[in-house]
Amino acid sequence: MSSETEVGVFVNSVLHYFESTVQQDAACGTPHLALRRHPELSDYTGIVKISGQRDGVVLFTAPRSMLCVMLMCMRDTDMSHDNLCELVGEIANTLWGNARRSFRHQVSISVQSVAHERDAPMVYPANSRPIVIPIAWRSYHARLVVCLDS
């Protein structure tokens, strides 16, 4: 599977999540390599670790305000820290599930984890550079970060 195809699995997964969960389309911006070794994270980050033929991490990172509006669209009034963590974790879990189906036995994918603000250092493969995919929804901006070794 090519790198473009692998990244596409995660992009399609995030876009489908918005379409099916909040019933509104999100848009994918132009993917780019991270200028710095570690891309900037937003308020909440869902993390999926991958190992096997390819090692790395996939992150969905979004601001609190975006996640709160997503919850409102889902008719959820609980804007607590725990509920926001649960939402970003659910998005990461969706990435995990779709990747698991697409990559089959080529990789092992960990269950998702969640980081709040910058409280968890990200570990990227040594011989890789994160690909950052901007995700726009309404007036909000999140990022999908795919970092797999070569």
Mean pLDDT of the chain: 85
Separation between Cα atoms, residue 24 and residue 86, nearest integer Å: 20
DSSP type of residue 110: P
Of 21-35, 89-103, 113-127, which has the strongest mean pLDDT?
21-35
Give per-residue pLDDT as tens, 49-78. 887 777 788 899 999 999 999 999 999 999
Q: Would you place residue 79 in the very low, low, confident or very high pLDDT band (cuts 50, 70, 90)? A: very high
Q: Does the structure show a pLDDT above 90 at 132?
A: yes
Q: How far is CA 116 from the centre of its chain?
A: 14
- Per-residue model confidence (pLDDT) at position 141: 97
For residue 95, what pLDDT is reported?
78
pLDDT at 19: 93
Per the structure, the complete domain to which residue 106 belongs is given by 3-148
The position carrying tokens 């509104």 is 24
124: confidence class by pLDDT, cuts 50, 70, 90:
confident
Q: How far apart are CA 48 and CA 59, in angstroms?
A: 6
Into how many domains does the chain fold?
1
We report the CATH number of the domain holding residue 43 as: 3.40.1550.10
